[in-house]
Amino acid sequence: MLTRLMMTDTLVTNDRPYAPEGRTGPPGWFAHLVQFSPDHYGWKDGRLVFHGAPGNTGANPSTGFAAFLVRNLYATHNSSGAIRRALGPLVNDLALDESKVGLNFGAGGGGRLHPRILNLDVQDQAHVDLVTDGGDIPLKDASLDLIVTQEVLEHVADYRGTVRDLARILKPGGIIYCQLPFQIGFHPGPNDYRRFSRQGMEQLFEGPEWHIEQVGVATGHGTAFYRIAVEFCAVTMSALHRSLYRPAKGLSAVLLYPFKLFDGLTERSSERDRIAGGYYAVARRTDAAPSA
């Protein structure tokens, strides 16, 4: 989750260690890409960290059986076949050119897409290279070749402002891969503001600074029905007693999993956009200035 705020301090390029409040150590390999106010940021173990950034809040389980269910059954949507086919070539293209650098915007608790794709998040975790306050991204203009953001902008209050900032840091000719949910239950992180249809995805990148190359179904109607049905069962049981919500959700996630298999039929339907689980867009940055 990223909530956009404005940084009013003058941003400065920093290519040397800065160590306020115990933040010590040399800057990371990406120091030549960053710009920030030392009043707000400092280097910590080669990572650029916003002062006062929280650690892992535990919003999603990271260990135990609950984490297993989330990772392998309930929340597998970021690794669907459609997503692998759309995102894989973009990452491979970056991997083949050592001069290219990317950003995983809102990396969360996941791993690393590629050693030259920086992870950005608002939580201070070991795998996050840029720990921000959710405001302006502390990177130079036109510094990146690829931006990946998976199911993040629905949690951002000023999502259009965030898209403008992403356009700012992307080089002309650079690519953004943006993935967002359509039919899915409320999932605060800590906020959850909106959903995006296919038309909503197209509108998001309709400005002159973007050329849309592809919009597709990321997860189909099977996943959409599954996620809603799991929540339906869990909410119903919680009406009997609030403590039953999580056990019912876990059990439903297992028993209803076969519904996800219907995603394989989504693209065959002329009505595929009725209840798709979510969409992705691939857009190329043009030479035009970001829309106001």
Q: Write the pLDDT tens digit of every residue in 62-92.
A: 567 777 777 778 888 788 899 999 999 999 9
3-state secondary structure the chain: CCCCCCCCCCCECCCCCCCHHHCCCCCCCCHHHECECCCCEEEECCEEEECCCCCCCCCCCCCHHHHHHHHHHHCCHHHCHHHHHHHHHHHHHHHHCCCCCEEEECCCCCCCCCCCEEEEECCCCCCCCEECCCCCCCECCCCEEEEEEECCHHHCCCHHHHHHHHHHHEEEEEEEEEEEECCCCCCCCCCCCCCCCHHHHHHHCCCCCEEEEEEEEEECHHHHHHHHHHHHHHHHHHHHCHHHHHHHHHHHHHHCHHHHHHHHHHCCCCCCCCCCCEEEEEEEECCCCCCC
Q: Write the pLDDT tens digit of every residue in 144-199.
A: 999 999 999 999 999 999 999 999 999 999 999 999 999 999 998 789 999 999 99
**Is residue 12, in this structure, part of any structural domain at all?**
no
**Is residue 206, in this structure, part of any structural domain at all?**
yes
pLDDT at 24: 52
pLDDT at 26: 77
Residue closest to 286 by CA, chosen among 216, 212, 220, 215: 212
Q: Write the pLDDT tens digit of every residue in 257-274.
A: 999 999 999 999 999 999
Confidence of residue 56 (pLDDT cuts 50, 70, 90): low
Say yes or no to pLDDT of 203 above 70: yes
**Is residue 27, in this structure, part of any structural domain at all?**
yes
Lowest mean pLDDT among 7-21, 87-101, 133-147: 7-21
CATH code where residue 41 lies: 3.40.50.150
**Is residue 291, in this structure, part of any structural domain at all?**
no
Per the prediction, the chain carries an average pLDDT of: 87
Using a pLDDT cut of 90, give the percent of the chain over it: 71
Domain total of the chain: 1
Residue closest to 106 by CA, chosen among 132, 143, 82: 132
**Is residue 81, in this structure, part of any structural domain at all?**
yes
Strands 130-131 and 117-121: parallel
Domain of 240 in residue numbering reads as 20-285
**Is residue 1, in this structure, part of any structural domain at all?**
no
**Is residue 6, in this structure, part of any structural domain at all?**
no
**Is residue 107, in this structure, part of any structural domain at all?**
yes
